[in-house]
């Protein structure tokens, strides 16, 4: 294939610097999901770790490089999984971590970032404003700004999931990956194309936040006016050109799914796999639900990429109402 | 220590015959649980596999021995985790698996046993009647009856969890293990006493099914008239003498917890760890909740041993009522 920004040897090296608690995550057939989905289904589970998402694979790579160079601090804009992951990874390596977030972000997620020892700075605006503030802090302080998907370490960290899939001697036909900024999709996609080219890579994005999908289809960056989805982990509006270039090389298809399908996917993962997942982690199941004929008779792996979800919102979505809670 | 029935070298050999999908399960600090529990907490997660419990570690050992000897079939009495695990392990090794269960068992669990290819025979009585029927089938057919906790393979299979805890270079002070028939408790306990004797082993049983706890305290088998607990995985009334002997050698303490604490533990694991667990998997958290002073400042590992739970019952217990479900 043409070359992406990612490098397979570097990804293999990245796998070795990631704390074992984030590596070699469960990969297993989930037969109880199969009657409802009409195909063989395996789960790659990225939630059973201290930050409940795959993002620490990337922050482990970034922070180990920074610590190796004697850097004292690091900053990012995030109201969710990246912030928690950077806080965890930075704390373990003695880095001062600053996370900039919108004050409108979910309180529970902001609490977790603080609890992991990061300095949390809130801005009175959206994620774009948080990004600008984080960039200013980095510039003024001379410290590293971690930008998800743009920074190669975030892509290559996520790509280590692909290595583990390949090392499992894959019997699957298709990998389903959530698509937001693109770190996970280009990471896993790169490894599949390099080491298991027979495996189809399908990226899944919410219909309510379709910027990268439109960009992939038109082969040029398309931004959107708004993003409206419960899948906050993938709700971007400004695709990064370099990431789009990589995605064009590694994605076999990019599909959009409706909010109702995401919720149905979350509910199926709860009812039949016993998994509480955040909306972005249900995108793969949602894609199968929307096009069962396409996947009939195939074996798909879906990357369950995170479980950081507000409990009350979760129950509202999956149709369980809180009653008489203490 | 005095010798249990278990053998550390055999346990190490057992670890090698268990399908990798059940081995090397996640072990991670869960800081979000810690403010509520007042101590450091790590989770050993035994639910992210095809049968959603630790029981397959034991059935993998049994069925690989049987298949090695050319046995054609195997039978057990179970309405839950053992039946699913034996069905999974036997199917993979070409064994005919029969599971005998009470017709009053949870329909969803019985469906899973059938779906995994086992022949399911229902008896019109309780688990004791199912055991008698399974024993008769074994005797008449000349086939192996798998008896949980009595059969050394079930204990040594479960003990491989202990190996993995020890291999993690433990920084923890205490392991909390669910106590039912005793396979998990004596298995993990044996390995800790043999290889990490500084780690305290505390077994936890529901107050509503206290037979083994009473037996441990009085150092002789005590049976109970009834068992009344939502923790069906550990609801026995007839402790096995040989298992009690082992438990007396390896348990530092055995504690009883109330049903309300089990439910509170399940809710904490959902709210703060994002884990859906069956009641027996919440016993460790329940034990901390009932005696926070005892664990203050310590680092405990709790084995989250299963997630096979009826979804409606689960929501009833943790205080979520199903609404407008499709």
Question: Cα–Cα distance between B208 and B259 in angstroms, integer?
Answer: 8
Chain B neighbors of A49, CB-CB under 8 A: 26, 28
Q: Please judge whether A322 and B325 are an interchain contact, meaning their C-beta atoms are less than 8 angstroms apart.
A: no
Question: Cα–Cα distance between A172 and A162 in angstroms, integer?
Answer: 13
Q: Please judge whether A47 and B274 are an interchain contact, meaning their C-beta atoms are less than 8 angstroms apart.
A: yes
The number of beta carbons lying within 10 Å of the beta carbon of residue A214 is 17
Q: Where are the beta strands (DSSP E) in A57-181?
A: 73-77, 96-102, 119-123, 144-146, 174-178
Q: Please judge whether A25 and B26 are an interchain contact, meaning their C-beta atoms are less than 8 angstroms apart.
A: yes
- Please give the residue of chain A at the shortest CA–CA distance from B316: A323
From A28, A32, A270, residue closest to B49, measured CB to CB: A28
Question: Cα–Cα distance between B102 and B121 in angstroms, integer?
Answer: 8
Asked if the model's pLDDT at residue B198 lies above 50, the reply is yes
Chain B neighbors of A307, CB-CB under 8 A: 274
Q: Please judge whether B31 and A116 are an interchain contact, meaning their C-beta atoms are less than 8 angstroms apart.
A: yes
**With a cut of 70, which residues of chain A have pLDDT below it?**
1, 320-326
**DSSP assignment letter at B51:** T
- Mutation choice for B interface testing from A18, A20, A26 by most B CBs within 10 A: A26
| Range scoring the smallest mean pLDDT among A153-157, A314-318, B43-47, B258-262 | A314-318
Question: Cα–Cα distance between A102 and A86 in angstroms, integer?
Answer: 17
| Distance between B286 CA and the closest CA of chain A, angstroms | 16
Please name which of B116, B79, B81 lies closest in space to residue B99, comparing C-alpha atoms: B79
> Does residue B259 or residue A2 have the better pLDDT?
B259
| Fold exhibited by the domain A8-53+152-318 | Rossmann fold (3.40.50)
Structural contact between residues B145 and B134, judged by C-beta atoms closer than 8 angstroms: yes
What's the Cα-to-Cα distance from A124 to each of A102, A121, A127, A238, rounded to whole Å?
6, 10, 10, 20
Contacts of B309 (CB under 8 A, 6+ apart): A274, B276, B277, B278, B279
Class of domain B56-146: alpha beta
Chain A neighbors of B270, CB-CB under 8 A: 276, 311
From B45, B116, B308, residue closest to A48, measured CB to CB: B45
Q: Please judge whether B31 and A48 are an interchain contact, meaning their C-beta atoms are less than 8 angstroms apart.
A: no
Rounded to an integer, the average pLDDT of B212-239 is 94
**Phi and psi angles of residue B5, each rounded to the nearest 5 degrees, phi first:** -70, -20
Please name which of A236, A315, A303 lies closest in space to residue A26, comparing C-alpha atoms: A303
| Distance between B271 CA and the closest CA of chain A, angstroms | 6
Contacts of B172 (CB under 8 A, 6+ apart): B40, B42, B165, B199, B299, B300, B301
Q: Could you report the predicted ipTM of this complex, rounded to two decimals?
A: 0.94
Question: Cα–Cα distance between B63 and B98 in angstroms, integer?
Answer: 13
From A50, A276, A320, residue closest to B30, measured CB to CB: A50
Helix B183-195 to helix B241-250 angle, to the nearest 10 degrees?
A: 40
- Please give the residue of chain A at the shortest CA–CA distance from B311: A271
Q: What local confidence, expressed as pLDDT, does residue B325 receive?
A: 39
Kindly report, residue by residue over B58-104, the tens digit of the pLDDT. 999 999 999 999 999 999 999 889 999 999 999 999 999 999 999 98
Chain A neighbors of B29, CB-CB under 8 A: 21, 50
| Distance between A89 CA and the closest CA of chain B, angstroms | 14
Asked if the model's pLDDT at residue B322 lies above 50, the reply is no
Rounded to an integer, the average pLDDT of B272-299 is 97
Rounded to an integer, the average pLDDT of B182-204 is 98
Kindly report, residue by residue over A158-191, the tens digit of the pLDDT. 999 999 999 997 789 999 999 999 999 999 999 9
Please name which of B163, B158, B136, B170 lies closest in space to residue B203, comparing C-alpha atoms: B158
Kindly report, residue by residue over B96-129, the tens digit of the pLDDT. 999 999 998 888 889 999 999 999 999 998 888 9
Provide the β-strand partners of residue B252.
none
Chain A neighbors of B271, CB-CB under 8 A: 311
Domain ranges in chain B with CATH number 3.40.50.1100: 8-53+152-318, 56-146
Q: What local confidence, expressed as pLDDT, does residue B166 receive?
A: 97
């Amino acid at each position: 294939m043409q070359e992406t920004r990612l490098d397979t040897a570097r990804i293999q090296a990245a796998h070795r610097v990631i704390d074992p608690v984030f590596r070699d995550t469960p990969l297993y057939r989930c037969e109880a999901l199969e009657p409802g989905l009409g195909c063989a289904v395996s789960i790659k589970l990225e939630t059973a770790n201290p930050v409940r998402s795959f993002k620490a694979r990337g922050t482990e790579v970034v922070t180990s490089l920074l610590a190796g160079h004697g850097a004292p601090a690091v900053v990012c804009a995030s109201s969710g999984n990246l912030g928690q992951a950077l806080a965890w990874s930075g704390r373990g390596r003695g880095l001062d971590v600053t996370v900039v977030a919108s004050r409108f972000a979910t309180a529970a997620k902001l609490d977790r970032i603080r609890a992991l020892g990061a300095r949390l700075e809130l801005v009175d605006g959206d994620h774009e404003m948080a990004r600008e503030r984080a960039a200013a802090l980095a510039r003024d302080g001379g410290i590293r700004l971690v930008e998800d998907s743009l920074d190669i370490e975030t892509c290559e960290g996520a790509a280590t999931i692909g290595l583990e899939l390949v090392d499992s001697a894959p019997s699957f036909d298709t990998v389903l990956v959530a698509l937001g900024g693109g770190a996970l999709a280009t990471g896993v996609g790169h490894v599949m194309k390099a080491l298991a080219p027979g495996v189809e890579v399908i990226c899944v994005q919410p219909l309510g936040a379709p910027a990268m999908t439109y960009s992939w289809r038109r082969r040029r960056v398309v931004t959107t006016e708004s993003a409206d989805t419960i899948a906050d982990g993938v709700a971007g509006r400004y695709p990064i050109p370099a990431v789009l270039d990589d995605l064009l090389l590694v994605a076999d298809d990019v599909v959009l799914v409706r909010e109702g399908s995401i919720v149905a996917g979350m509910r199926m993962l709860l009812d039949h796999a016993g998994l509480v997942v955040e909306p972005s982690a249900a995108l793969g199941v949602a894609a199968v639900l929307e096009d069962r004929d396409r996947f009939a008779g195939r074996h798909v792996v879906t990357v369950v990429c995170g479980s950081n979800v507000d409990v009350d919102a979760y129950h509202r979505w999956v149709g369980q109402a809180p009653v008489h809670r203490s």
